Amino acid sequence: MPQTTIDVLGIGNAIVDILVETDDAFLTSVGAVKGAMSLVSAEHQRALYNKVGAAVEISGGSAANTLAGIAMLGGRAAFIGKVKDDQLGDVFGHDLRAVGVAFDTRAAAQGAPTATCLVLITPDGQRTMQTALGACIELSPDDLDLSVIAAAQVTYLEGYLWDPPAARAAFHVAAEAAHLAGRKISLSLSDPFCVDRHRAGFRDFIENHVDILFTNEAEILSLYETDDFDRAVAAIQPRVAVAALTRSEKGSVVVTPGEIFAVDATPVDSVVDTTGAGDGYAAGFLHAYTKDRPLHECAKLGGVVAAAVIERIGARPPTDIAARAGAL
Amino acid sequence: MPQTTIDVLGIGNAIVDILVETDDAFLTSVGAVKGAMSLVSAEHQRALYNKVGAAVEISGGSAANTLAGIAMLGGRAAFIGKVKDDQLGDVFGHDLRAVGVAFDTRAAAQGAPTATCLVLITPDGQRTMQTALGACIELSPDDLDLSVIAAAQVTYLEGYLWDPPAARAAFHVAAEAAHLAGRKISLSLSDPFCVDRHRAGFRDFIENHVDILFTNEAEILSLYETDDFDRAVAAIQPRVAVAALTRSEKGSVVVTPGEIFAVDATPVDSVVDTTGAGDGYAAGFLHAYTKDRPLHECAKLGGVVAAAVIERIGARPPTDIAARAGAL
């Protein structure tokens, strides 16, 4: 098997976040589901945007956040995702490349603009996301460079990519290409509502294609339609080589066919903004994994990166994350 | 004289800031003048952008920051400035209108994109600005709605607008229209290097058109080519009805033909980011001024808003600024 030239390749929605402070009354008045990521039309997002206060724009996207974190930790990172050839697409591409992520997906010349996620921040620090998928719906199997997939030790897919149908097809192509080359496929379940939209597809994909699964408690409970965490653990255990289940301040639980163990969360000085905590966990975990570290070290580093993300505004790790993580 | 329907109308460059952390070595390597606003070509800005890390986008522009502050304090605020009809122009317009500033300048359909300012933040919290004027160079006297100027108690002009030549012409037209209607003209000197570029023009404009001048210490010293603050105060005293000279932690000095007095700075918990402090001071001062408050109260409120801006990242006041300022 040829050597890998990439540690982790991410495939995900290419999104610029629009962050704005609001309150619970506003969420109620517009019927937004608090704490969730909802897909909305461009028109609906625009109507909301016109009602909220001044905002800040910052590159986002779940898998993109993870790959930025891996590159910042020193890993060899690449990303596939679809922007339009517009200003926000330029911002998105800059912010990935600026931290060392290879990003060569051709921007769409026509059609919908680069995707944006209106992030409504309530005083309790929770984020309610209203995403217009924009150019992301253009991502198709044609955008996959199979040689890049074959060169990556792990190809990491975000569950949110199940929403745009052509991207879903790309998932299956990517999984087959990765396994043909003897590489690993990792999936993040992204969001309990996303699991709800695509439960059967996720279950099938996990069983047949996923080597490393990332999920939080709400997502795995939704996947197996149970309210019992242990039952969900038992359901996932025989189905993937590695599952990392994050449980917020309770840390994470790593499940393999042979063992189940918990790893404590990294203490956090103060929780400022939990967005991107799961993306950061996946970054730390996969970075250690591709450096052949044992799984408890992977989970530990996942917790370190998640904690660093939580302590500040924004979904990507701070610039000093490599120093905080220590040498691998 | 008909009643005013606007308290303050601002005319300025319409800019979106691109904030990025860097270090002194980088500033040296690219020959940037630390702490200053330098005008650069779009190509040069792009070359710098390609060398820096991940960034955050946030609406800026000096006068626009001030008018946002006035609206947030409860004042009737309007703004004239030129964006292009593009995504960042949309962001700029949203962020003004979202806080209650009337902004109706027609966006340019063609030509350069919306102006951006690459803000290079060093670990000491200083900001070095590299601005590509983009669509701002399209602002011309044709963009002035003279009925709006006539309806505004104060028309506030940023010195930076001296850079794009057509905008400079608009300044003179605005000043004449305001005075014909019996209204006031206010000017901010913006930046010592800007004063250096346009010293003769500024001196002439101040003497003949300005009622209320905002300047910091470095700018007024540059204007009168002296290193003696008292000499600069003596030079400005006979030339404008009101000059407010800001001196960072030393507070401000208000100068009228009849008196000179100092007002202490508002204590600041911790200086996080001084960008926009002058813009905030002008917001507080002008808001009190248009509510017919005595000048020492104007200077005091200027200090309150400046302090609020300094305590956080970004150049516009926090959402709770009206509460912090108290009722006027």
Read out DSSP for A265-291? PPP-S-----TTHHHHHHHHHHHHHHT
Q: Do β-strands A260-263 and A252-255 pair in parallel, antiparallel, or remain unpaired?
A: antiparallel
Q: Which residue of B has its CA nearest to A113?
A: B87
A116-157 tens-digit pLDDT: 999 999 988 788 999 999 999 999 999 999 999 999 999 999
Mean pLDDT of A199-209: 96
- Per CATH, the architecture of B6-13+61-112+137-325 is what? 3-Layer(aba) Sandwich (3.40)
Q: Is the pLDDT of residue B125 over 80?
A: no
Q: Which residue of B has its CA nearest to A99?
A: B53
CB contact under 8 A, A98 and B316: no
- Dist CA A238 CA A258 (whole Å): 9
User: At the top level of CATH, which class does the domain A6-13+60-112+136-325 belong to?
Assistant: alpha beta
**How would residue A274 be classed by pLDDT, with cut points 50, 70 and 90?**
confident
Instruction: Kindly list the domain boundaries of chain A, sorted by start residue.
Output: 6-13+60-112+136-325
CB contact under 8 A, A91 and B55: yes
Q: Is the pLDDT of residue B110 over 80?
A: yes
CB contact under 8 A, B98 and A54: yes
ipTM of this complex prediction, to 2 decimal places: 0.89
CB contact under 8 A, A99 and B53: yes
Q: pLDDT at position B112, please?
A: 97
CB contact under 8 A, A54 and B94: yes
A65-105 tens-digit pLDDT: 999 999 999 999 999 999 999 999 999 999 999 999 999 99
| Residue written as token pair 């189905």 | A239
Q: Which of A15, A23, A52, A56 to mutate against chain B (most B CBs within 10 Å)?
A: A56
Q: pLDDT at position A328, please?
A: 75
Q: pLDDT at position B185, please?
A: 98
A210-257 tens-digit pLDDT: 999 999 999 999 999 999 999 999 999 999 999 999 999 999 999 999
Q: Which of A94, A114, A120, A320 to mutate against chain B (most B CBs within 10 Å)?
A: A94
Q: Is the pLDDT of residue B272 over 90?
A: no
B21: closest CA among A167, A48, A99?
A: A99
Those residues of chain B whose CB sits closer than 8 Å to some CB in chain A are 21, 49-50, 52-59, 68, 86-88, 91, 94-96, 98-99, 113-114, 314, 316, 319
Q: Is the pLDDT of residue B182 over 90?
A: yes
* Mean of pLDDT over chain A: 94
Q: pLDDT at position B311, please?
A: 86
- Dist CA A103 CA A326 (whole Å): 26
- Dist CA B8 CA B154 (whole Å): 5
Q: Is the pLDDT of residue A282 over 80?
A: yes
pTM for the full model?
0.93
Q: Do β-strands B260-263 and B252-255 pair in parallel, antiparallel, or remain unpaired?
A: antiparallel
Q: pLDDT at position B105, please?
A: 96
- A contacts of B91 (beta carbons < 8 Å): 55, 57
Mean pLDDT of B265-275: 84
CB pairs under 8 A between A and B: 60
Q: Which residue of A has its CA nearest to B47?
A: A94
Q: How far is B187 from chain A (nearest CA, A)?
A: 25
Q: Which of A59-63, A273-277, B161-165, B318-322 has the highest mean pLDDT?
A: A59-63
Query: Which residues, including other chains, have CB under 8 Å from residue B129's CB and lie 6 or more apart?
Result: B36, B37, B38, B117, B118, B119, B120
Q: pLDDT at position B275, please?
A: 81
Mean pLDDT of B97-108: 97
- Dist CA A141 CA A168 (whole Å): 9
Residue A142's φ and ψ, nearest 5 degrees, are -60, -25
- B contacts of A95 (beta carbons < 8 Å): 54-55
* A53 vs B52, B54, B319: nearest CB: B319
CA–chain centroid gap for B313, Å, is: 17
Q: pLDDT at position B3, please?
A: 87
Question: Residue A129 — left, alpha, or beta (φ > 0 → left; ψ -120 to 50 → alpha)?
Answer: beta
Q: pLDDT at position A232, please?
A: 97
Q: Is the pLDDT of residue B44 over 90?
A: yes
Structure tokens that stand for B160 in this block: 């930076």
* Mean of pLDDT over chain B: 94
Q: Which residue of B has its CA nearest to A54?
A: B95
Q: Is the pLDDT of residue B230 over 90?
A: yes
Those residues of chain A whose CB sits closer than 8 Å to some CB in chain B are 21, 49-50, 52-59, 68, 86-88, 91, 94-96, 98-99, 113-114, 314, 316, 319
Mean pLDDT of B289-304: 97
CB contact under 8 A, B56 and A314: yes
Q: How far is A18 from chain B (nearest CA, A)?
A: 9
Q: State the amino acid at position A30 in one-letter form.
A: V
* A58 vs B50, B56, B96: nearest CB: B56
CB contact under 8 A, A98 and B57: no
C-beta separation of B217 from B250 below 8 A: no
| Residue written as token pair 């304090």 | B73
Q: pLDDT at position B273, please?
A: 76
CB contact under 8 A, B94 and A50: yes
